């Protein structure tokens, strides 16, 4: 019981951070869940948690979303998450996570400190970002940082950013949940966590909304990039520790 309480508390922190960062909780939740469950159980639990997480954000951040980005990013994301979820049975997780961490660290540092550099808000970039975030979400359980990095290029107001990201992510999570179920990743003995994860989703999203009310638009952009940098360092650190 004590272990479950630690897990729920850490999941709540992940949800708050994911809400404030604007790209969802899975980037923090996946490493946390891996401390308690095996890799494939983590994928199944994360998908279920994220469905609840995104529903809670859509209810709490209900004002405005970008329809064009939902289509241009969401459609490739859903198609590629299905492929990524199927591919998860065969990949070397460590190699993919190291490559992902390198991309996140280099891109976020560049955007934070090289002011003249920027990801262009183009249709190609939105489709590419959607596809990449989808396949990573399917393979590793998390692709929100790529989606957040892409959305940041379009200069969306923070509520629109979070709503747009949540709607795209809901399509991703619903699709991969079906594939994970068919792969046998969603286990009956883990379903007792669903109630607690739904509760965590709503409480964490609401706490995140309260924090965001005190954050300016410019601060929000920097928070997104700093969280992406932190995520890259965290993922890389985890892989290094596994090798030591």
pLDDT in 10s for each residue of the chain, 244 residues = 677 888 999 899 889 888 887 777 777 787 788 888 887 888 889 888 888 988 999 998 877 889 999 999 999 999 999 999 998 888 777 787 788 788 778 877 887 887 666 678 899 999 999 999 999 888 888 777 788 878 888 888 888 888 998 899 899 988 999 899 888 888 888 888 889 999 999 999 999 899 888 888 678 778 877 877 887 888 888 888 877 7
* Tokens describing residue 28: 């923090």
- Distance from C-alpha of 91 to C-alpha of 119, rounded to nearest angstrom: 29
Neighbours of 198 (CB within 10 A): 17
pLDDT confidence of residue 119:
75
Q: What is the pLDDT of residue 117?
A: 66
Q: Which two tokens stand for residue 163?
A: 């709503």
Distant-in-sequence contacts of 153-158, Cβ < 8 A, 24+ apart: 153/118, 153/119, 153/120, 153/121, 153/125, 154/66, 154/69, 154/121, 154/126, 155/121, 156/66, 156/69, 157/64, 157/217, 158/22, 158/212, 158/215, 158/217, 158/220
* Distance, CA of 188 to CA of 68 (rounded, Å): 38
Per-residue pLDDT at 156: 85
Domain that holds residue 76: 2-243
pLDDT of res. 74: 93
How many whole angstroms separate alpha carbon 145 and alpha carbon 234?
Answer: 13
Vertex 221, ends 62 and 239: CA angle to 5°?
Answer: 105
C-alpha dihedral sign at 231, 135, 86, 8: positive
| Radius of gyration, CA atoms only, the chain | 16
**Number of independent structural domains in the chain:** 1
73: Cβ contacts below 8 Å, ≥ 6 apart: 126, 127, 129, 130, 133, 147, 150, 151, 168
- As a whole number of angstroms, the distance between CA 59 and CA 101 comes to 32
| Contact indicator for 53, 203 with CB cutoff of 8 Å | no
Instruction: Find, among 144, 166, 159, the residue nearest to 227 by Cα.
Output: 144
């Amino acid at each position: 019981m004590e272990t479950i309480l630690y897990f729920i508390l850490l999941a709540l922190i992940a949800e708050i951070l994911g809400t404030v960062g604007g790209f969802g909780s899975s980037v923090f939740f996946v490493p946390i869940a891996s401390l308690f469950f095996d890799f494939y159980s983590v994928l199944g639990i994360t998908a279920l948690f994220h469905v609840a997480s995104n529903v809670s954000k859509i209810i709490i951040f209900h004002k405005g979303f970008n329809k064009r980005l939902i289509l241009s990013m969401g459609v490739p994301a859903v198609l590629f998450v299905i492929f990524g979820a199927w591919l998860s049975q065969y990949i070397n997780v460590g190699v993919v996570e190291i490559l992902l961490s390198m991309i996140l660290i280099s891109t976020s540092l560049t955007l934070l400190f090289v002011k003249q550099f920027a990801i262009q808000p183009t249709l190609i970039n939105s489709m590419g970002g959607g596809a990449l975030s989808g396949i990573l979400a399917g393979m590793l359980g998390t692709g929100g940082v790529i989606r957040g990095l892409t959305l940041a290029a379009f200069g969306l107001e923070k509520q629109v950013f979070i709503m747009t990201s949540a709607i795209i992510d809901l399509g991703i999570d619903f699709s991969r949940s079906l594939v994970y179920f068919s792969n046998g990743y969603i286990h009956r003995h883990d379903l007792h966590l669903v109630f607690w994860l739904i509760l965590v989703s709503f409480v964490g999203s609401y706490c995140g909304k309260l924090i965001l009310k005190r954050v300016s638009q410019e601060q929000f952009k920097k928070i997104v990039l700093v969280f992406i940098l932190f995520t890259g360092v965290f993922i890389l650190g985890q892989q290094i520790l596994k090798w030591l």
